Amino acid sequence: MSAAHKDGSISRLRVMFLTIALFWSVLIVVLAGWNCWQSYSATFAIALTTARESYSKDLVYRRWTTMHGGVYVPITSDTLPNPYLSHIPERDIVTPAGRKLTLINPAYMTRQVHELGEKEYGPQGHITSLKPIRPENAPDPWERGALQAFEQGQTESSSLETIGNETYLRFMHPLLTEAGCLKCHASQGYKIGDIRGGISVSVPWGPFQLALREQLRGIVLAYGGIWMVGMLGLYLSRRGFQNHLSARQQAEEALIEKTTTLDNILRNANNIAIATVDLDFHITYYNPMAEKLFGYSAEQVIGKTIQEMHTREAVAPERFMDAIEQVRSKGEYRYFLEQKTASGIRHIASRVSGIISPNGDITGYSLFSEDITASKHAEEERQQLEECLHRSQKMEALGKLAGGVAHDLNNVLGVLSGYSELLLERLPEGSPLRTYAANILKSSEKGANHRPGLADAGKKRRRGRRGNQFERHCCQSFRDS
């Protein structure tokens, strides 16, 4: 290797490693960013779940109170008679023992529970409406926007907001008017099923943020360590390449081979639809090929159960359970289906198998499906060609048979015709044997008239309609003889 060539190789090697280092750095940054986003999303989801649980408890308490038309509690400085219930008979009662009780409606009870929960545990709750009976229950700007969104069809609202000097995850869900609500709110014009307001829950974001920061710190440290290990490996590899330029060609060939193999794997994987579900049969993964093959986007199916999707496609439930049983007992389940499309019938081959943990337990199930329409059509065409070949071979055999029959018939007819003519020449006129000889000669001539057709069928070995003509010649010959 010349010095100039070696210097050029070193220069190209330097550029290559700088490119790889840049790519490695960008890849690490992208992966770290993606993991950070996943951690944030998971933390936000946990906080949102906390808010939903708080709302669910509030709703249960509220429905219990509504179911009983309210509850009576002792009158205290913290629980005074509700002036907005003055129109309700027996709002205040006195027990035989002389205890004064007042009626607590669901809204009053929910407000007191929210005040107690905020004081004891942190999450803040607020029951509100665009038309509140109690002015203090009027919505704040964020709640007003959520209530207006509910009237447009939105089912819930959540976001991070600042209250005072702290950040909270705010969550709100609409309250629908039920029969028990009309006792207090019928005068406002509400009907059963109307959106009467909503319950908002504000969960302090601080504890979740601290946990998120710890996760992000761990992610940054982990990916930073991976990046350093990779860069160190690149540096050592570069030095190794510089010290062994003679082996560069082999290394390039190995790299090309690995790249080709990886490219083939990825290309083949692009032809396979892949979907996975957990043990509760909720769809957890759905690749782009599955979107193309089954006609549903990932957003439409992720999180839904297999039973829901099978209901849409009118798949029998027992078929699904049979597949699961076969996977558990035999390790996999294979099946084929036909799918109607605008261009015709699509044939799909599928395999269901278990996702096995290191402990050998099934943690989910995976579906691999492939469009085999092209191979199906190719197989059908192959079968058709084989059938045509078999028919051709049969007709060829029939042709050979026809040629043989024509040849043998010609020999026989020649003898019969010749001897009949000799008999007619030698028998005297008036001999009764001349009639027999004449009939033999006449039959020989009729048979000779059919011989060319048989010989022609034997030589040309025609198929289809010609084969039918050959059969007719045979039948006519036998009838005439």
Residue 128 lies in a domain: yes
Instruction: Determine the Cα angle at 450 with ends 447 and 456, to 5°.
Output: 140
Cα end-to-end span (Å), the chain: 95
Q: Are residues 321 and 383 in the same domain?
A: no
> In a 10 Å sphere around its CB, with 0-12 CB exposed, 13-18 middle and 19+ buried, how is residue 117 labelled?
middle
The C-alpha angle with vertex 144 and arms to 185 and 56, in degrees rounded to 5, equals: 65
Could you report the per-residue pLDDT of 3-49, keeping only the tens digit for each? 555 556 667 777 888 888 899 999 999 999 999 999 999 999 998 88
Within this chain, do residues 96 and 195 fall inside the same structural domain, yes or no? yes
Residues 349 and 409 in one domain: no
In a domain, 421, yes or no: yes
Do 159 and 282 have their domain in common? no
Q: Report how far apart, in Å, the C-alpha atoms of 256 and of each of 216, 250, 261, 263 are.
A: 37, 10, 9, 10
Residues 6+ apart with CB under 8 A from 261: none
Measured between alpha carbons, how far is residue 106 from residues 109, 128, 189 in Å?
A: 5, 12, 18
Closest CA to 158 of 144, 145, 147, 169: 169
Show the tokens assigned to 392: 């051709």
Q: Looking at residue 123, which CATH number applies to its domain? A: 3.30.450
Q: Half-sphere exposure of 380 toward its Cβ, with a 13 Å CA cutoff?
A: 7
- The β-bridge partners of 464 are none
Chosen domain end from 178, 207, 236: 207
Q: Is residue 20 part of a domain?
A: no
pLDDT tens digits, residue range 289-348? Answer: 888 888 888 888 888 888 887 777 767 777 778 888 888 888 888 888 777 777 778 888
Tell me the average pLDDT across 212-231: 91
Tens of pLDDT, residue by residue over 338-397, are 777 777 788 888 888 888 888 888 888 888 888 888 777 787 788 888 888 887 778 777
Q: In sequence order, which residues have a C-beta less than 8 Å from that of residue 6 and are 6 or more positions away?
A: 245
CATH of the domain at 359: 3.30.450.20
Do residues 303 and 360 both lie within one domain? yes
Mean pLDDT of the residues in the chain: 77
**What span, in angstroms and rounded, lies between the C-alpha atoms of 240 and 75?**
87
Whether 307 and 360 share a structural domain: yes
Q: Is residue 251 part of a domain?
A: no
Asked if 293 and 384 sit in the same domain, the reply is no
Please indicate, yes or no, if residue 359 is contained in any of the structural domains: yes
User: Are 276 and 284 in contact, with CB atoms under 8 Å apart?
Assistant: yes
| 196 and 294 housed in the same domain | no
For the chain, how many structural domains are there in total? Answer: 3
Local confidence band at 184 (pLDDT 50, 70, 90 cut-offs) = low
CB 207 within 8 A of CB 134: no
Residue that is last in its domain, among 322, 346, 371: 371
- Residue 192 forms part of a structural domain: yes
Instruction: Look at residues 351, 371, 391 and tell me which one is the last residue of a structural domain.
Output: 371
* Residues 89, 179 share a domain: yes
| pLDDT tier, 249 (very low <50, low <70, confident <90, very high otherwise) | low
pLDDT for the residue numbered 225 = 93
Q: Which structural domain, as residue segments, surrounds residue 173? A: 65-207
171 shares its domain with 108: yes
Tokens linked to 252? 């390039």
Same domain, 431 and 364: no
Residue 126 and residue 86 in one domain: yes
